[in-house]
Structure 1
Amino acid sequence: MTIFTKLLALENLTGNEKHLVDYIFSEPEKIVRSRPNEIAEGAFVSLATLYRLINKLGLSGVGELKIELLTGLKSQKANEEEVEIDYDYPIIESDSSFQIMQNLSTIYRNTVDETMNIADPEELVVIGKKMLEAETIDVYISSSNLFFAQNFKFQMQEIGILVNVPEEAYVQELSAANSNEKHLAIVVSFGGRGKTTGEVLRILNDNKVEIILITSTQDHPLSSYGDHKLYLASEENHYDKISSFATRLSLLYIFDTLYAVYFNQCYKENIDFKLQNYKKINQELK
């Protein structure tokens, strides 16, 4: 939280303190260069008012106020001068550790915004109902993305819904072959390149299983299989990159959204179920 956010959050300020806050917002750079009495004079308040406001901010003195202002100003400047970032190579060899952190922060913010902006609100409503109606939900996913499916499985299990996440290629195909119209399949394929995923989709389609396809916005041969589609942020190259920073976050965001949409349809029942189970698990042995 920057100093500017802290100032906005302050409550029960006196008239002079509000006037001082306005002065800080209007002249932050000047305050960094000023002595305490100069700050008070510039805001037309007493030194006592200045130190009272500093105490309300939880700071130790004017020096700490200046440090917070400098940090806040640097953050604002970075946002204003933010340039388009390379999603595949967001860091370069000369970047400092903190610059790396800032670059990733930019990617994360942009990724969440993009994932939300390309989502279809009406499709989310339909998917939520389909999940609620399904007797079995199966998630087909590969590689390191399995961890996100396993987390979704855990979230659903906490509210009493068992989700099937087959891992090995043969088990995925076997699970698809065992599926029927009472199943709902969630299939994740960014670019439609996986041989197993293609085979799984073919089998699911033959068995008339409704499919939610989580994929990129780029067209590929497997796109036609999805009865419902949710799109991942698609700025990253599938291969030529340092890591799947954006895709990974986008997928987590979508899975969390699916869980939250499902949860929200029976909100009170799910809250009660979770709390009751928590009490059972944590009940002390007598």
Structure 2
Amino acid sequence: MNILIKIRELANLTNSEKELADYILANPRKTLQFKPKELATAAFVSTATIYRLINKLGLNGVGELKIEIASSLRETTEEKEINYDYPILESDTPYQIMTNLNQIYKGTLDETLSNADPEELVRIGEKLINAKIIDVYAASANLFFAQNFRFQMQEIGILVNVPEEDYIQRLSAANSDKNHVAIVISYGGRSETLQKAVKILSENNTPIILITSMQENALAEFAAHKIYMASAENHYNKVSSFSTRQSLLSILDTIYSIIFNYNYDKNIHYKTNNYQKMNNDLI
């Protein structure tokens, strides 16, 4: 498992260990440069806290921790130079803008893949394939991606519910039960509407698949499964959500493809047959 995800999901941490974990997640590259005492000073913890956290990660020392972090980070020169929050400058030509965005997209896909847990993807696929009803809960611009996922699934005969308004989301959650599976899209858990819906889903024992960032998310405790988006962007101070959008699209496309692959021949036939029926109706 990606060491940053492992740190993110560690349970039963002391307050100081949590402070250290949060610092490493927010500053993985700086962590690589620090000696133990320097890391302790930067994170406002003791050196002993560092070694306790390392033990909980099942590692043998600071050196191994750095190796694991380094392997989890994007390593190309282009990715280090690009600013994910401000990838375009006033002086950039249109072609330079396109080139910069291309670097962000490549880095985003690499990070999304790095964050993925292969075994978790298998479990998520099985959960969705066996679900009687799939509901997708999202807010703001993420609703458009949820609607696109619904369209993809409808093309292979699987109906997906995407409630949009606050009341409808809460009503959908209230109608949900253990036979439903809820996909919740939330970068940081800040939407009050999603907070209410997730609480209801949890009370109704509905399995929740949370698509979230590597940052802290209060909804994570309610999720049976988690998929992590690329998390390099600042949530507020940026030109646009270039990386987050690309990462979310990649994850939803992956989920769709996993489900498609489960009954590959059947889905190919279903899709092509339906398109033929629709085209035959054209005058």
TM-score by length of 2: 0.71
Establish whether residue 155 from structure 1 lines up as the match of residue 152 from structure 2.
yes
Alignment correspondent of 1:274: 271
Establish whether residue 123 from structure 1 lines up as the match of residue 120 from structure 2.
yes
The aligned length equals: 208
Alignment correspondent of 1:229: 226
Q: Which runs of 4+ in 1 moved over 4 A?
A: 79-83
Per-residue CA distance 1:111-145 (angstroms, 9 max, x = gap): 00000011001000011111110000000001111
Matches within 5 A, 1:47-66: none
Tell me, what secondary structure is at the counterpart of 1:186?
A: strand
Tell me, what secondary structure is at the counterpart of 1:143?
A: coil
1:164, distance to aligned residue in structure 2 (A): 0.1
Letter in 2 for 1:128: G
1:220, distance to aligned residue in structure 2 (A): 2.4
Per-residue CA distance 1:81-136 (angstroms, 9 max, x = gap): 77521111111111111111111010000000000011001000011111110000
Alignment correspondent of 1:178: 175
1:284, distance to aligned residue in structure 2 (A): 4.3
1:80, distance to aligned residue in structure 2 (A): 6.5
Q: Which runs of 5+ in 1 are unaligned?
A: 1-78
Q: Residues 130 and 81 of structure 1: is their aligned pair in 2 closer, same or farther, counting only changes over 3 Å?
A: closer
- 1:146 corresponds to which of 139, 143, 163: 143
Q: Residues 93 and 145 of structure 1: is their aligned pair in 2 closer, same or farther, counting only changes over 3 Å?
A: same
Q: Which runs of 5+ in 2 are unaligned?
A: 1-75
Letter in 2 for 1:147: F
Work out whether residues 79 and 104 of structure 2, in 8 Å CA contact, stay in contact via their aligned partners in 1.
no
Tell me, what secondary structure is at the counterpart of 1:191?
A: coil
Q: Residues 285 and 153 of structure 1: is their aligned pair in 2 closer, same or farther, counting only changes over 3 Å?
A: closer
- CA distance, structure 2, for counterparts of residue 143 and residue 83 of structure 1: 30
Q: Residues 220 and 82 of structure 1: is their aligned pair in 2 closer, same or farther, counting only changes over 3 Å?
A: closer
- CA distance, structure 2, for counterparts of residue 197 and residue 119 of structure 1: 23
- 2:186 corresponds to which of 166, 184, 189: 189
Per-residue CA distance 1:219-249 (angstroms, 9 max, x = gap): 2222111100000000001111110000000
Alignment correspondent of 1:250: 247
Work out whether residues 135 and 182 of structure 2, in 8 Å CA contact, stay in contact via their aligned partners in 1.
yes
Tell me, what secondary structure is at the counterpart of 1:90?
A: coil
Q: Residues 204 and 121 of structure 1: is their aligned pair in 2 closer, same or farther, counting only changes over 3 Å?
A: same
- CA distance, structure 1, for counterparts of residue 263 and residue 87 of structure 2: 41
Establish whether residue 202 from structure 1 lines up as the match of residue 202 from structure 2.
no
- CA distance, structure 2, for counterparts of residue 278 and residue 82 of structure 1: 41
TM-score by length of 1: 0.70
Work out whether residues 189 and 219 of structure 2, in 8 Å CA contact, stay in contact via their aligned partners in 1.
yes
Tell me, what secondary structure is at the counterpart of 1:88?
A: coil
- CA distance, structure 2, for counterparts of residue 177 and residue 93 of structure 1: 49
Establish whether residue 97 from structure 1 lines up as the match of residue 94 from structure 2.
yes
- CA distance, structure 1, for counterparts of residue 144 and residue 122 of structure 2: 25
Letter in 1 for 2:218: P
Work out whether residues 79 and 107 of structure 2, in 8 Å CA contact, stay in contact via their aligned partners in 1.
no
- CA distance, structure 2, for counterparts of residue 82 and residue 121 of structure 1: 24
- 1:263 corresponds to which of 235, 260, 264: 260
